[in-house]
A and B are shown apart, each in its own frame.
Chain A
Amino acid sequence: MDWEVVIGLEVHAQLNTATKIFCGCPTAFGAEPNSHTCPVCLAMPGALPVLNAAAVDKAIALGLAIGAELNRHSIFARKNYFYPDLPKGYQISQYELPVVGKGTLTVQLADGVEKVVGVTRAHLEEDAGKSLHEAFIGQSGIDLNRAGTPLLEIVSEPDMRSPAEAVAYLKKLHALVRYLDICDGNMQEGSFRCDANVSLRRPGAAYGTRAEIKNLNSFRFLEKAIEYEIVRQRDILESGGQIVQETRLYDANRDETRSMRSKEEANDYRYFPDPDLLPLVLDESRIERIRDILPELPDAKRTRFMNQYALTAYDAGVLTAGRVLADYYEQVAADVDGKLAANWVMGDLLGALNKAGIEIDDCPASAEKLRLLVQRIADQTISGKIAKEIFEEIFYRGGEVDAIIDGRGLRQITDVAAIAAMGDAIVTANPQQAADFRAGKDKLLGFFVGQVMKASQGKANPDQVNAILLERLQKG
């Protein structure tokens, strides 16, 4: 009998505000240690937190985007635990009444099927600092620059049933926070972090005991860690053992998860309402103001791309996966065929970016240049084959499309007389092949077309070459 895996994800998105959640210290990454601190985020006695309005607005934006209940009244609580990078001895978080309640996220799976994943809640909290263990003998160094950076913890329902579904959900959420411009999504720097709750059960049975896996800072690690965890738990269950509820750490180098600590004691956080903070009340005007400035969201953009540019669901999905790529595509498709533009953006451009290991944000070839290139194909100035050469040139070395076309004499030959002359010369030079073609070897047309294209250095219009050669050869 099979096992069914049950997965829920907890995502910590660092909100891209200018200042920390409860004080006016900057949140910029990479500053001198402890230079972005003040009495509030260092937990000096008597210092009082004051909530950052931008953090609240960004939480509202996420709530609206996933169709969630926004709690008009929410409460900050203290989550108590001791660790040196948490100077107060508690983290300010939200417990019983989070700012964002139940919502949903629709994810697209590889087979084209859509799945609705429930979001249980999203709450505001503060990040902890960083501990550096290597540099000092017998001591740890503490940098509290990150302490107090606003986080939105987004908790899903245990709705996912495979590693692929979990990855699809995480990718969708990642795209969403970037569309909303509430988080930079940088997983390497830890601004978008994911923990996975994984358990196994017999289909239809009650949920099994789960393990929580931490340290999943890429989509690939999430997938691999869940795959590892499924095998580990299955082996335990099938040999008659029991799963221990615990926190496990994913080690990417060894591709395994291992126990961090037993939750039994560590989990006793003794939450209680923080007396330093009053209840957060959302009024309708604040919510409506955020609703008014929400950008077009991935699902809406995808549907619009399918209608406006006549794209398939798959193509529209790829092109709207990120806001920057979607904007790039729309610039390219501004006055050429949408499908042709999509082929160039998804094929040549994404291929070259992938090969060079760069993101669309840092693309060396501007959308305007690619638009012009595609337009030159559409208006028959150049062939698609020549366009690929020009694309390589502008992507790797720069330059202007028209200047390259003129400078190298790449204009397509569409003069019928010129192509006919080349065709005649090739037919005359290859009498045997011409005779074989007339005797029924139709495939030889390709040979002649190739010869003419070669003679024209790729500049002859292939459609015209085809038509002219066919006419010449049949006439014999």
Chain B
Amino acid sequence: MAFDHDTVRRTAHLARIALPQTEIPAVADQLERIMALVEELRAIDTKGVPTMAHPLDLDQPLRPDTVGNHDQREVLMASAPAAEHGLFLVPKVIE
């Protein structure tokens, strides 16, 4: 798979990574090598092999539906860069 510079820019945008123009060739090269490994894995015949969603051979444990958490807003908000009236504040977002 060819990792052209546009694909690198688009991938960086989707991941919200500010990638300097100068680093794009190097990142393209690294992604190319990662994809080469993926291509190798893809070539393996997995017909009839069940999908493995998790490496542990365990089932999801379930939790009873009872309230266990109480209001800890003060503590939890202490590390927020900006908060007011009990709300987290972020740069304005409007679609």
Contacts and interface: CB of A to CB of B under 8 A. Distances in A.
B41 interface: no
Contacts of A52: 62-63, 65
Interface string A34-47: 11111100101000
A140 interface: yes
Contact of A83 (B61, B71, B93): B93
Interface in A11-48: 17-19, 23-26, 32-39, 42, 44
A139 B63 contact: no
B60 interface: yes
Contacts of B16: 82
Contacts of B64: 53-54
A387 B16 CA distance: 70
Interface string B69-85: 10111001100001011
Interface in B17-69: 51, 53-54, 56, 58-69
Contact of A278 (B56, B65, B68): B56
Given A51-B62, A53-B64, A278-B58, A35 B90 contact: no
A306 to B, nearest CB: 37
Contacts of A53: 62-65
Contacts of B86: 32-35, 143
A18 B64 CA distance: 10
Contacts of A35: 71, 73, 86
B69 A24 contact: yes
B93 A141 contact: no
Most buried by B among A23, A33, A277: A33
Contact of A18 (B65, B93, B94): B65
B89 interface: yes
Given A24-B69, A35-B86, A52-B62, A273 B53 contact: yes
A133 interface: yes
A279 B60 CA distance: 6
Contact of B90 (A24, A75, A139, A270): A139
B95 interface: yes
A281 B67 contact: no
Contact of A38 (B61, B69, B93): B69
A36 B65 CA distance: 15
Nearest to B79: A44
Contacts of B63: 24, 50-53
Contacts of A26: 67, 69
B91 to A, nearest CB: 6
Given A50-B61, A53-B64, A133 B92 contact: yes
Interface string A44-88: 100000111111100000000000000000011000101110000
A19 B66 contact: yes
A23 B69 contact: yes
Contacts of B54: 273, 275, 277-279
Contacts of A75: 51, 53
A111 interface: no
B1 interface: no
A216 to B, nearest CB: 17
A163 B86 CA distance: 42
A142 interface: yes
Contacts of A56: 62
Nearest to A96: B51
Nearest to B58: A278
Contacts of B84: 136, 141
A38 B72 contact: yes
A418 interface: no
B2 interface: no
Given A268-B14, A279-B53, A33 B87 contact: yes
Contact of A139 (B14, B56, B69, B82): B82
B67 A261 contact: no
A280 interface: yes
Given A34-B88, A35-B73, A139-B90, 17 more contacts: A24-B63, A24-B67, A24-B69, A26-B69, A37-B72, A42-B76, A50-B61, A53-B64, A82-B16, A139-B82, A139-B91, A140-B89, A140-B90, A141-B84, A141-B85, A270-B14, A280-B60
Interface of B: 14, 16, 51, 53-54, 56, 58-69, 71-73, 76-77, 82, 84-95
The 3 A-B pairs at the shortest CB distance, nearest first, are namely: A24-B68, A141-B87, A54-B65
28 contacts: A18-B66, A19-B65, A24-B66, A24-B68, A24-B69, A25-B67, A25-B69, A26-B69, A32-B71, A33-B86, A33-B87, A50-B62, A76-B60, A84-B88, A84-B93, A131-B93, A132-B87, A139-B82, A139-B89, A140-B91, A140-B93, A260-B95, A270-B14, A273-B54, A278-B56, A279-B54, A280-B59, A281-B59
